[in-house]
């Protein structure tokens, strides 16, 4: 009899202790379910005002005979950008919203940017430059979405056409005073800005360099075949049978660089 009572009491104790565990498990499950159902608040809205961020001192540049301190928000932490890229928010006499500053600029990049006509202002030592925002990202062109929805074959044909335009522009670049026999060395979609479907501006001369021997379109870095390969990458995961597929969205960083948002 005593043995039976002991077993009964032990069972009651175990059951009592198990309740909080089950309850905790149930609550955790509910929390997970709610987390999945709760929509994430987007960091940006197309029609909302831009989020205010604390501006930081970028550098002092010369604008004519005047030295001005420019301030802005860092929009790139990529190591490939060395000192970083900033969206300018304060620049007396320069204006805001249409200019970007880049720090850690090499002598070759300064030369290429200046001779290409993109340079707006620079620091005393030339390691910080201000460039004007021009044109559109290639993924903002109407033909980008159209080519994507037409399927892989048409998309790659579109990409080849754009690569040929970029290749020709690189040839034109070499006719500009001071850039004879230079090569851009980094001709890819991200380094192009489009004024129209057929007019492109080359940007980011971080890899540009003068050649020791005359440029050869078949052997040097700016080969058409290499540019085509990179531009066909814009066709993403399309397959031969893919059609009516919406193109992938622009990355947050790229949207920032282009639209000045977020």
pLDDT at 7 over 90: no
Confidence at 24, pLDDT banded by 50, 70, 90: very low
Angle subtended by helix axes 152-173 and 224-232, to nearest 10:
140
Query: Alpha-carbon distance 49 to 260, whole Å?
Result: 11
What is the percent of the chain with per-residue pLDDT over 90, rounded to a whole number? 48
pLDDT digit string (tens) for 33-74? Answer: 444 444 444 444 444 444 455 678 999 999 888 999 999 988
* Inter-residue contact 212 to 183 (CB < 8 Å): no
Beta strand extents in the chain (DSSP E only): 56-63, 66-74, 84-90, 99-103, 119-123, 128-132, 182-183, 192-194, 200-202, 209-210
pLDDT digit string (tens) for 97-133? Answer: 678 899 999 999 999 999 999 999 999 999 999 998 8
Position 48 scores a pLDDT of: 40
């Amino acid at each position: 009899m005593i043995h039976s009572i002991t077993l009964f009491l032990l069972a009651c104790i175990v059951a009592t202790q198990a309740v909080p565990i089950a309850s905790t498990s149930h609550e955790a499950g509910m929390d997970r379910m709610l987390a999945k159902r709760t929509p994430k608040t987007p960091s940006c809205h197309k029609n909302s005002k831009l989020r205010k961020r604390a501006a930081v001192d970028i550098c002092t540049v010369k604008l004519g005979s005047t030295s001005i301190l420019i301030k802005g928000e860092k929009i790139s932490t990529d190591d490939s950008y060395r000192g970083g890229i900033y969206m300018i928010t304060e620049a007396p006499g320069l204006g805001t919203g249409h200019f970007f500053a880049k720090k850690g600029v090499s002598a070759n990049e300064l030369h290429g940017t200046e001779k290409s006509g993109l340079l707006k202002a620079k620091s005393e030592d030339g390691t910080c430059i201000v460039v004007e925002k021009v044109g559109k990202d290639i993924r903002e062109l109407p033909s980008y979405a159209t080519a994507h929805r037409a399927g892989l074959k048409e998309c790659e044909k579109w990409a080849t056409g754009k690569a040929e335009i970029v290749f020709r522009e690189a040839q034109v670049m070499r006719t500009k005073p001071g850039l004879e026999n230079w090569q851009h060395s980094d001709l890819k979609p991200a380094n192009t800005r489009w004024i129209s479907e057929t007019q492109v501006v080359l940007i980011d001369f971080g890899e540009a360099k003068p050649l020791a021997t005359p440029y050869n379109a078949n052997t040097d870095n700016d080969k058409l075949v290499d540019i085509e390969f990179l531009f066909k990458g814009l066709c993403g995961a399309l397959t031969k049978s893919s059609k009516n597929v919406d193109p992938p969205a622009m990355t947050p960083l790229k949207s920032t660089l282009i639209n000045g948002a977020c």
